[in-house]
Amino acid sequence: MTTFSVQYDVIIIGGGPAGMMAALSVRHHHPDYSVAILDKTHELGRKFLTSGAGRGNLTNVHLEENPVAYFHGDAHFITSVFSQFGYRDIMAFFDELGVPTYEEKKTSRGKIFPEIDHAKTVRDMLVDTLGEHHIEIFYNVAITALVLSADYWTVETNDGSYTGRYIIMTAGGKTYPSLGADGSGYDLAAGTGHTIVTPVVTAVPIVSKNQLSHFMQGEKMVMEATSIIGGVNGTTAVGDVMFTQYGFSGPAIFDISHDFSVRINRENKRDAKIRLSFFPNKTAGEVKAILDKRLSVHATLPVAHSLWGLFTQKAAGAICAVAGLPKERLSGELNPQEYDKLFGVLTEFTSEVTDTRGWNEGEFTAGGVATDEVDAGSLASKKAKRLFFAGEILNVDGQVGGFNLSWAWSSGWVAGKLLETV
């Protein structure tokens, strides 16, 4: 092991999207400062490479809409960052970088991707740009401790110590720890006096043993999904739901999984349920009209056959089985109780949620550095001098669709201004 001491104006801990952007922001706002990124893995932005299934979900057209698409009690904290570097700035940044973009129209979610649909190329362009701006990158350097003395931070690592006047902490969250961010950033932040809101995995599949998932395993449908926490309706999302052997997955589940994860993994409560409707955005009356028409047109066929077309044969059979209908029950012979049960499965199928899947299956972390100890305007620590935070290490997580990467780019830019407040 080598032991050495290097002095920089700014040391950035973690070279994900937030760290890379913070470095470029420092260079923009403080052209004379020496800047180093230290990262514990052998390449930068490994998590970014997985985003958008390898395409790179850069941002979202709905980024600055109200209400904000973030799970955070303090909207001001979020908007103060995006008011300094928002959707237009992110788009202009990638335009200037040389990355043409497009809005994916397959869904109305407003996801922005690079036209080349290839995150790795974009990541390599970012790394090239860091080099062009003389930002030093140290790979395979894991930070183990931060010590503040009068004028400098000493950064202890697995490979000697570094010193810097300013620290920007961009060590990420805890999901997919093999990609670099493994929660060690929280320990570093706690060591500087910061409170860590218990991190829990989110945008994650949920465990909910139920008959519908059992019969529909492998099927995928656009549905309305609602979390019910302690008997109270939580978040509702419309999108694909995938039926799995353990319960549910898919974008609509990811969107409401925050509620389940916080309740189960942080608050240790076992009172969460999910409610699903096969008819998103339709009133009970509209669903009834659809069902009645099908049952009467196909009165001499089994009920499941009346549902074919709306659903696959497998899904129609599963719905009828869960409603407890005998296979041979004809559409014209449903009694009122059977009709009500069928209607209930179609519009408000409810199942207990007992757990979430783990850190290796979730996309984001909810929790992290408590934001009331960080200045909303500058992202400077209120606890320690010349310390800044950006990206997923902060207790900010957004919905699926480019909101988390947007947070990383924008908060990285704001932190890189190095506006001192302490």
Q: How far apart are CA 382 and CA 2, in angstroms?
A: 34
Smallest separation (angstroms) from ligand FAD to the CB of 391? 2
CB count in 10 Å sphere of residue 41: 18
CA atoms within 13 A on the CB side of 163: 10
In this structure, which amino acid lies at residue 400? V
Task: State the Rg of the chain over Cα.
Answer: 25
Q: Is 356 in the site for ligand FAD (CB under 6 A)?
A: no
Q: Is 212 in the site for ligand FAD (CB under 6 A)?
A: no
CA distances from 87 to 106, 114, 241, 400 (A): 21, 15, 29, 16
Which of 59, 70, 138 shows the shortest CA–CA distance to 99? 59
Nearer CB in complex with ligand FAD: 170/356? 170
Q: Is 381 in the site for ligand FAD (CB under 6 A)?
A: no
Who's near 370: CB < 8 A, 6+ residues apart?
194, 195, 196, 197, 395
Nearer CB in complex with ligand FAD: 316/374? 374
Nearer CB in complex with ligand FAD: 39/224? 39
What is the phi/psi pair of residue 231, to 5°?
Answer: 85, 0
Q: Is 13 in the site for ligand FAD (CB under 6 A)?
A: yes
Smallest separation (angstroms) from ligand FAD to the CB of 300? 48
In this structure, which amino acid lies at residue 21? M
Who's near 358: CB < 8 A, 6+ residues apart?
201, 204
Of 278, 364, 388, 389, the one binding ligand FAD (CB under 6 A) is 364
Structure tokens at 396: 């900010």
Helix (H, G, I), strand (E, B) or coil at 41: coil
CA distances from 141 to 60, 109, 163, 179, 182 (A): 33, 38, 14, 14, 14
Nearer CB in complex with ligand FAD: 255/392? 392
Strand partners, 166: 10
Binding residues among 146-185 for ligand FAD as defined by CB under 6 A: 170-172, 175-176, 180-181, 184-185
Q: Is 109 in the site for ligand FAD (CB under 6 A)?
A: no
The interface region with ligand FAD, picked from 48-56, 78-86, 234-242, 300-308 by CB under 6 A, is: 48-56
Smallest separation (angstroms) from ligand FAD to the CB of 141? 6
Of 8, 11, 57, 414, the one binding ligand FAD (CB under 6 A) is 57
Binding residues among 385-414 for ligand FAD as defined by CB under 6 A: 391-392, 402-405, 408
Q: Is 371 in the site for ligand FAD (CB under 6 A)?
A: no
CA atoms within 13 A on the CB side of 302: 14
Contact assessment for residue 356 and residue 362, using Cβ atoms and an 8 Å cutoff? yes
Quote the DSSP letter at residue 108.
Answer: S
Smallest separation (angstroms) from ligand FAD to the CB of 44? 6
Q: Tell me the residue nearest to ligand FAD as measured from the CB.
A: 16
With CB under 6 A, what is the number of residues at the site for ligand FAD? 38
Nearer CB in complex with ligand FAD: 143/221? 143
The interface region with ligand FAD, picked from 33-41, 213-221, 289-297, 338-346 by CB under 6 A, is: 33-41
* Residues lying near ligand FAD in the complex (CB under 6 A): 13-19, 38-41, 46-48, 50-52, 57, 142-143, 170-172, 175-176, 180-181, 184-185, 363-364, 391-392, 402-405, 408
